[in-house]
Amino acid sequence: MGPCARANSESAPASYGKWAGKVQRIAAAAVLLAALVAGVAAPAAERAVKIVALGDSLSAGYQLAASEAFPAQLERALKARGVAVEIANAGVSGDTSSGGLARLDWSVPDGTDAVILELGANDMLRGIEPKVTRDALDEIIRRLKRRGIEVLLCGMLAPPNLGAEFARAFNAIYPELASKHGVVFYPFFLAGIVTDPKLNQRDGLHPTAEGVLTIVDRILPKVEALIAKVKAKRQS
């Protein structure tokens, strides 16, 4: 038996006789078709939306375990809803809006899809001139948008004891910037917990783990709107 005859006898059952080659070709085509159908029926897993929480101690999780901080609890809540997401904690306790601007480039790495911007509480507590806060937040948003990064701006409110004039100027910063830049806006980051001692630590300034969960529950629709903007941009 020659080499060609041996190759044919080894590559197809002898019982197919002269039809062996044709049967092989049909079988190979069927395998290829099945693979193509499987690829259509089971699309690749959706790429996770990468979010950075750029903030102060309210994002960092002051006196809390890392798993209890705002970014971690928010990520779990979204994943429980079937959302593919990764949220990085770029909160620095004591940071001001100007501090956030100074570290913006290395706090928000390339590949980030969206930023939850939570800064200004320390500006308010220190009585920093509202224009300084406004200019820093304005520049942060401008730089992020220039990089194609979506933004959720979290507002802060000044207490009355800082004076009516200061409160008016400070409280106006966030809605005005949200309108100017067309970003997703959550008016008051501490809504629902600020007057409840059970949801705050002893200092009365920072939420407990349960308080953070309340923040997450309230802000979740805005975060979902942020993610929707990211996904819409991917499809455009």
Report yes or no on whether pTM surpasses 0.75: yes
Catalytic entry in 15, 110, 203, 236: 203
- The yes-or-no answer on residue 196 being catalytic is no
- The yes-or-no answer on residue 181 being catalytic is no
Catalytic entry in 57, 59, 97, 98: 57
CB atoms within 10 A of CB 59: 28
pLDDT tens digit string along 97-111? 999 999 999 999 999
pLDDT tens digit string along 176-211? 999 999 999 999 999 999 989 999 999 999 999 999
Residue 31's pLDDT is 54
Length of the chain: 236
pLDDT tens digit string along 205-236? 999 999 999 999 999 999 999 999 999 999 98
Catalytic entry in 97, 98, 113, 206: 206
Which position has the token pair 């529950």? Answer: 217
- The yes-or-no answer on residue 206 being catalytic is yes
Supply the DSSP symbol for 56: S
Mean pLDDT is lowest, of 20-24, 58-62, 71-75, 188-192, for 20-24
Q: Tokens at residue 30, please?
A: 């069927």
pLDDT tens digit string along 137-164? 999 999 999 999 999 999 999 998 999 9
User: Torsion-angle region of residue 51: left (phi > 0), alpha (psi -120 to 50) or beta?
Assistant: beta
Task: Write the single-letter amino acid at 124.
Answer: M
Q: Name the pLDDT band for 41 (thresholds 50, 70, 90).
A: very low
pLDDT at residue 15 is higher than 60 = no
Supply the DSSP symbol for 64: S
pLDDT at residue 40 is higher than 50 = no
Q: Tokens at residue 90, please?
A: 């770029």
In degrees, rounded to 5, the angle at the alpha carbon of residue 4 between the alpha carbons of residues 3 and 9 is 100
**φ and ψ at 65, to 5 degrees?**
-65, 155
